[in-house]
Amino acid sequence: MAPYLTHLSTTLAQARLNLTTRIIHIRTGFRAGYPDLHPRNPSFARVVPKATYTEHDPESQFHPLVEPQTGDLVVTKRRVSAFTGTDLELLLRSLGTEQVVVVGLITSGAVLSTVRQAADLDFGVTVLRDLCMDREEDVHEVLMEKVFSRQARVVDSGVWLEGL
């Protein structure tokens, strides 16, 4: 995980140098007692018994290497997609955003849901292949090559940074 976080940190720092790039960090954080988690939601079934990922727990905080900097925005999500039940779309529309760049964990979870929803909301989408990870490398590759490439531009972070 350390090489991933270091690479992400470096990419974020380089992106911040571009004055038109806004960085929005997404974190998962539930209210104490989990009133925002329905018992039928299988994606988060293990969260409640373990009493993890509440808004103030260490699990829901950003790693120091990639924590938000001055000018960055933070959105707290309570579902797999960064859009569902959050103000992310409002922020993006208010900022006049037409293109979003998606990075993160897990490719077959939050990344997949967020990419598909962003495309459905008519945003142009870029996925940074080398800054997404999944527990299963073959699933990651199929999503990048066969799924995301139909709705998004899939490139490595270096290629994206060159285009800024």
Domain regions of the chain by residue span: 1-162
Residue listed under structure tokens 């009133």 = 35
Instruction: Output the furthest CA–CA distance in the chain (Å, rounded).
Output: 45
At position 7, the amino acid (one-letter code) is H
At position 104, the amino acid (one-letter code) is G
Q: Output the tens digit of pLDDT for each of the chain's 164 residues.
A: 789 999 999 999 999 999 899 999 999 999 999 999 998 999 888 888 888 999 999 989 999 999 999 999 999 999 999 999 999 999 999 999 999 999 999 999 999 999 999 999 999 999 999 999 999 999 999 999 999 999 999 999 999 999 99
Cα dihedral 58/64/69/75 (nearest 10): -30
CA-wise closest residue to 65 among 101, 129, 21, 13: 13
pLDDT at position 1 is 76
Token pair in block for residue 23: 């960085």
Which of the 8 DSSP states describes residue 66?
Answer: G
At position 48, the amino acid (one-letter code) is V
pLDDT at position 32 is 94
H helix count then E strand count, the chain? 7, 5
pLDDT at position 34 is 94
pLDDT at position 45 is 85
pLDDT at position 46 is 86
* CATH T-level fold of 1-162: Rossmann fold (3.40.50)
